[in-house]
Amino acid sequence: MSIARFWRETPRRYNLGGSKCTNCGTAYFPPRSVCPTCARHRESIGKMVPFQLSGEGEVYSFTTVHEPAEGFEMQVPYVLALVRTVEGPMLTGQIVDLAPEEVRIGLKVRATFRKLREEGKAGVIHYGYKFAPVEETAVRPPGGSRTAVGTPATPEGDRAPA
């Protein structure tokens, strides 16, 4: 994936910037230029505004992945989940800081800023949101740091192309 292709989604992947339709009030992530709820009446055109998700939500469904997507080979097994955010939009992301067997539907989670994948040894490192449990069951991984999504960050490997 080219650097620009990933870089241009930074506001969404780092900061959970979505959009909201001022006509019907529905929030979307990733942002949309047309509201699917109002689109058929063309009432939403020009009425979508930026909307910040809090990152709070709960697990709607999950799977423990053993045959990984490209770039996730070092993370298997990992838990991928659908997370229903408190603002409404559903997101797809990994559940971290919890043993796979402890993940359950309804688990309260919060978005956390992590490394997603690396493009080989010399390639670009992709960062973005994952989800960690809100409960006290959370286990901090050795050496792992936690950065709340929304915090301005300039992680290594994420430099805009010149």
CB of 86 to other proteins, least distance (A): 15
Start-to-end C-alpha separation, the chain: 17
CB of 123 to other proteins, least distance (A): 14
Rg (C-alpha) for the chain, rounded Å, is 17
Nearest to 14 by CA among 160, 161, 148: 148
Q: Which CB sits closer to other proteins, 20 or 117?
A: 117
HSE (side-chain half, CA atoms, 13 Å) at 5: 4
Nearest to 54 by CA among 121, 120, 110, 130: 110
Alpha helices in 28-154 (DSSP H): none
Residues 15-44 that bind other proteins (CB under 8 A): 30, 36
CB-based contact 55:110 (threshold 8 Å): yes
116 is an interface residue for other proteins by CB under 8 A? yes
151 is an interface residue for other proteins by CB under 8 A? no
92 is an interface residue for other proteins by CB under 8 A? yes
137 is an interface residue for other proteins by CB under 8 A? no
91 is an interface residue for other proteins by CB under 8 A? yes
Binding site for other proteins (CB under 8 A): 1, 6, 9, 13, 30, 36, 60-70, 72, 75, 77-78, 80-82, 89-94, 105, 116-117, 126, 128-129
